[in-house]
Amino acid sequence: MYNVRGSGQMKALDDVSFTLRSGRTIGLVGQSGSGKSTIAKILIQLETPTSGEVLLDGAPIPRRGKALRSYRQQLRMVFQDPFASLNPYHSIRYHIERPLRLGGLAANDQVDGEVRRLLERVRLVPDAVIDRRPHELSGGQRQRVAIARALASRPTLLVADEPVSMLDVSIRLGVLNLLADLQREEGLGVLYITHDLATARHFSDEIIVLNQGRIVEQGPADDVILDPQNPYTRELRAASPDPERHFASAAGNLGGAQ
Amino acid sequence: MSEPLLSIHDFSVTYDVDPPVHAVKGVTLELARGEILGLAGESGCGKTTLAYGVQRLLKAPAVITNGSVMFHDASGEDVDINALGAEEMRRFRWDKISMVFQGAMNSLNPVAQIGSQLEDVFEVHRPEMTPRQRRSEVADLLELVRVGAQRARSFPHELSGGMRQRVMIAMALALRPQLMVMDEPTTALDVLVQREIIRQISQLRHEFGFSVIFITHDLPLLLEITDRIAIMREGEIVEVGRAEQIWTDPQDAYTRTLLSSFPRLTGERGVVVR
């Protein structure tokens, strides 16, 4: 619930329940304002729900202190814009070292090795990027650095909010495939937040469709996208570009937009 | 092809830096009156430089090194855009060719009402109009793009992203141009809003008969909404064809790569290995 000045309160999320298991990906889809990012904010403790709770391994999110820090190490975010989420003044090394040092996750003499290991995990050549700054890297490389940073604290859960929408189309699949590999190898649970139904379908095991803060449909990815039951899901699907369907229908080739 | 509106011949643009970057290399392209042409390619392929270049919107260090751009005006007159003087060019722009810029919805002045920002267009380009006429034109425009005339006194932050983008389209439409260049006009919007705006552009095109150059890297969207698509790579157009031909029978290897980099909404699984 958000307090909105003048108009009282706005329900950003309403009675939302779901379970994310390790090694699984849930795609969270819906249009702007549907509450997708509010869910992410609750998970990373930027918002507190007015009712309901979030359990990690059966335990509620700790409120403060060491327990909260440990929760935050277990749950990491990958943000949409790798241009904004990396600090232009600092080297790639610094970005990845920081969670290691802050969390006391590597002894001083092991930090360098660990940074390199993480860069290799995201298929970057450590020597080529480690002492560079974000602006010297391409968008795809930057997003890989952001993923390496997220992995540094050995999380069990990754919240990826539109991780590829700012990237060039030809490298999006590469980054999604990287996330899929890491998830498999590390048994991560991934919450993939997007409004792109096509990548949600291919990248997720399960899809949750959110409309005005409510879950309107939930199920295996293919079922939800290929055979949507809810009118809102159908509307979203109809609005998504789908050349296959477009050229299959006779109306499709009457020249341009109909 | 039907009557041409814009003929681009052997057009080249170089960014005069060290070493020089040949951003657009010898592009030849014809746009028909009333046609929607999609210009697709990755970041840095030169698509925006090309679109800016044909309107002479480029600034140093960009230099048009070669080629001609001929605009076939509805009056029957052929205008060589490269030969226009600065003042002629200023009048030509927006009047004949308008543009919806990338991220345009964030380019509205935050401290001015949208109605007065729209009126500015008429004040500059139609100085003979009275304030009353201007206001009535602006009201009509806002109705046309379904923002509603009552919104003329709203400030940009009071409108949603989709509405702001419609205001930008209204602005581009104000002088009834014959060509609208749209650079990623819907990229920042969610799918439902995007679809609604595309539908509207399409209706307006039917009503007013303008041509559109639609620049985006969203190939699936282009396939649905354009008549023809030009695929650009490293400053060159590698393939031009009807949307359906690009989809069913792409000729160039790069076009095929680009097509295969999109997960299909309803097509086969397996593009993400899981």
Task: Report the DSSP beta bridge partners of residue A56.
Answer: A59
> What is residue A15's predicted lDDT score, i.e. its pLDDT?
84
> What is residue A170's predicted lDDT score, i.e. its pLDDT?
78
> What is residue B107's predicted lDDT score, i.e. its pLDDT?
83
Give contacts of A244 with chain B, Cβ < 8 Å.
Answer: 264-267
> What is residue A169's predicted lDDT score, i.e. its pLDDT?
80
Bridge-based pairing of strands B36-40 and B211-216 is parallel
> What is residue A161's predicted lDDT score, i.e. its pLDDT?
92
* pLDDT exceeds 80 at position A109: yes
At A254, is the pLDDT very low, low, confident or very high (cuts 50, 70, 90)? very low
* pLDDT exceeds 70 at position A127: yes
What's the CA dihedral at B221, B224, B230, B233 to 10 degrees? 30
> What is residue B189's predicted lDDT score, i.e. its pLDDT?
78
Identity (one letter) of the amino acid at A254?
L
Give contacts of B261 with chain A, Cβ < 8 Å.
Answer: 169-170, 172-173
**A136 shares contact with chain B (CB less than 8 Å):** no
Give contacts of B219 with chain A, Cβ < 8 Å.
Answer: 169
Higher pLDDT, A58 or A191: A191
- CATH number among 3.40.47.10, 3.40.50.300, 3.40.718.10, 3.30.870.10, domain A2-87+157-249: 3.40.50.300
Question: Domain-by-domain residue ranges, chain A?
Answer: 2-87+157-249
What's the CA dihedral at B195, B196, B201, B204 to 10 degrees? 150
Distance from C-alpha of A20 to C-alpha of B177, rounded to nearest angstrom: 52
Report the residue from B202, B226, B262 with minimal CB separation from A198.
B262
Alpha-helix runs per DSSP H in A131-220: 139-151, 169-186, 197-203
Query: Which pair of structure tokens corresponds to residue A135?
Result: 């602006």
Query: Which pair of structure tokens corresponds to residue B63?
Result: 């230099």
Distance from C-alpha of B74 to C-alpha of B95, rounded to nearest angstrom: 12
* pLDDT exceeds 90 at position B120: yes
DSSP string, B113-170: -HHHHHHHHHHHH-TTS-HHHHHHHHHHHHHHTTS-GGGGG--GGGS-HHHHHHHHHH
**B2 shares contact with chain A (CB less than 8 Å):** no
Query: Helix (H) and strand (E) counts for chain A?
Result: 11, 10
By C-alpha distance, the chain A residue nearest B268 is A202
Contact between B244 and A177 using a beta-carbon 8 Å cutoff: no
> What is residue A246's predicted lDDT score, i.e. its pLDDT?
86
Q: To the nearest whole number, what is the mean pLDDT of chain B?
A: 90
> What is residue A1's predicted lDDT score, i.e. its pLDDT?
45
pLDDT digits 0-9 by tens, B6-50: 999 999 999 998 888 999 999 999 999 999 999 998 888 899 899
> What is residue A180's predicted lDDT score, i.e. its pLDDT?
92
Contact assessment for residue A20 and residue A194, using Cβ atoms and an 8 Å cutoff: no
**B36 shares contact with chain A (CB less than 8 Å):** yes
> What is residue A8's predicted lDDT score, i.e. its pLDDT?
56
Report the residue from B191, B227, B257 with minimal CB separation from A256.
B227
Please measure the distance between the N-terminal and C-terminal CA atoms of chain B and give it in whole angstroms. Answer: 46
Q: To the nearest whole number, what is the mean pLDDT of chain A?
A: 87
Q: What DSSP character marks residue B37?
A: E
Q: How many CB atoms lie within 10 A of CB A191?
A: 24
* pLDDT exceeds 80 at position A251: no
Kindly state the average pLDDT of the residues B155-173.
89
Give contacts of B272 with chain A, Cβ < 8 Å.
Answer: 173, 176-177, 180, 199, 202-203
Give contacts of A169 with chain B, Cβ < 8 Å.
Answer: 42, 217-219, 258, 261-262
> What is residue A6's predicted lDDT score, i.e. its pLDDT?
42
Cα–Cα distance list, A1 to A15, A44, A83 (Å): 11, 16, 31
Kindly state the average pLDDT of the residues B202-214.
91
**A175 shares contact with chain B (CB less than 8 Å):** no
> What is residue B167's predicted lDDT score, i.e. its pLDDT?
92
**A198 shares contact with chain B (CB less than 8 Å):** yes
CB contact set of A83 (below 8 Å; sequence gap of 6+) = A134, A139, A142, A166
Distance from C-alpha of A5 to C-alpha of A28, rounded to nearest angstrom: 28
* pLDDT exceeds 80 at position A4: no
Backbone angles phi, psi at B221, to 5 degrees: -65, -45
Contact assessment for residue B162 and residue B197, using Cβ atoms and an 8 Å cutoff: yes
Contact between B272 and A176 using a beta-carbon 8 Å cutoff: yes
Kindly state the average pLDDT of the residues B226-251.
93
Distance of CA A142 to the CA centre of its chain: 15
Element spanning B122, H or E: helix B114-125
Contact assessment for residue A206 and residue A24, using Cβ atoms and an 8 Å cutoff: yes
**B201 shares contact with chain A (CB less than 8 Å):** yes
Three-class secondary structure of residue A258 per DSSP? coil
Give the closest-approach CA distance of A243 to chain B in angstroms.
6
Q: What is the largest CA-CA distance in chain B?
A: 65
Element spanning A216, H or E: strand A214-220
- b/e burial code for range B200-228 (CB count within 10 A of at least 16 → b): bbbebbeeeebbbbbbbbbbbbbbbbbbb
> What is residue B274's predicted lDDT score, i.e. its pLDDT?
66
Distance from C-alpha of B37 to C-alpha of B242, rounded to nearest angstrom: 9
Distance from C-alpha of B56 to C-alpha of B90, rounded to nearest angstrom: 10
Bridge-based pairing of strands A206-211 and A25-29 is parallel
Task: Report the DSSP beta bridge partners of residue B66.
Answer: B12
At B117, is the pLDDT very low, low, confident or very high (cuts 50, 70, 90)? very high
pLDDT digits 0-9 by tens, A64-85: 888 888 888 999 999 888 888 9
Give contacts of B217 with chain A, Cβ < 8 Å.
Answer: 168-169
Give contacts of A222 with chain B, Cβ < 8 Å.
Answer: 269
Contact between A202 and B221 using a beta-carbon 8 Å cutoff: no
Report the residue from A25, A32, A257 with minimal CB separation from B225.
A257
At B104, is the pLDDT very low, low, confident or very high (cuts 50, 70, 90)? low
Distance from C-alpha of A101 to C-alpha of A96, rounded to nearest angstrom: 9
Kindly state the average pLDDT of the residues B240-255.
93
Give the closest-approach CA distance of B205 to chain A in angstroms.
10
Contact between A241 and B265 using a beta-carbon 8 Å cutoff: yes
